[in-house]
Amino acid sequence: MRLARVEHDGGPRWAVVDGPTLVLIEDPWPGAAVATGERVPLRGARLLPPATPMNVVGMAHNTGPADRNLPAQAFFKPARALTGPGSAIPIPPGIGRVDAEAELAVVIGRTARHLTPADALRHVLGFTLSNDVTARDLQVSDPLWTTAKGFDGWTPLGPWLETGLDPSEVQLTLSINGVPLESGSTANLARSVVEVLVYITSFMTLGPGDVVLTGAPGEVGRIQPGDRVSISSPLLGQLESTAAADPVPAAAGAES
pLDDT for the residue 247: 80
- In whole angstroms, what is the distance from residue 175 CA to residue 230 CA? 5
pLDDT for the residue 255: 40
Nearest to 3 by CA among 150, 82, 98, 109: 109
- In whole angstroms, what is the distance from residue 147 CA to residue 128 CA? 24
- In whole angstroms, what is the distance from residue 2 CA to residue 19 CA? 10
Q: Per-residue pLDDT averaged across 138-158, rounded?
A: 94
- In whole angstroms, what is the distance from residue 184 CA to residue 219 CA? 7
pLDDT for the residue 7: 96
pLDDT of 227 higher than 60: yes
Q: Is the pTM of this model over 0.85?
A: yes
pLDDT of 256 higher than 90: no
Return mean pLDDT, the chain: 93
pLDDT of 253 higher than 50: no
pLDDT tens digit sequence for 16-35? 999 999 999 988 876 666 77
Nearest to 197 by CA among 100, 71, 72, 68: 72
pLDDT tens digit sequence for 45-62? 999 999 999 999 999 999
pLDDT of 251 higher than 80: no
Residues 6+ apart with CB under 8 A from 109: 29, 30, 123, 124, 125, 126, 208
- SS3 assignment, position 152: coil
* CATH numbers and ranges of domains, the chain: 2-46 (2.30.30), 56-245 (3.90.850.10)
* H helices present in 168-252, as ranges: 193-200
- The terminus-to-terminus CA distance of the chain in angstroms comes to 52
Half-sphere exposure at residue 120, Cβ-oriented, CA atoms within 13 angstroms: 21
pLDDT of 177 higher than 90: yes
The residues pairing with 240 across neighbouring beta strands, listed in sequence order, are 230
Q: How far is CA 148 from the centre of its chain?
A: 16
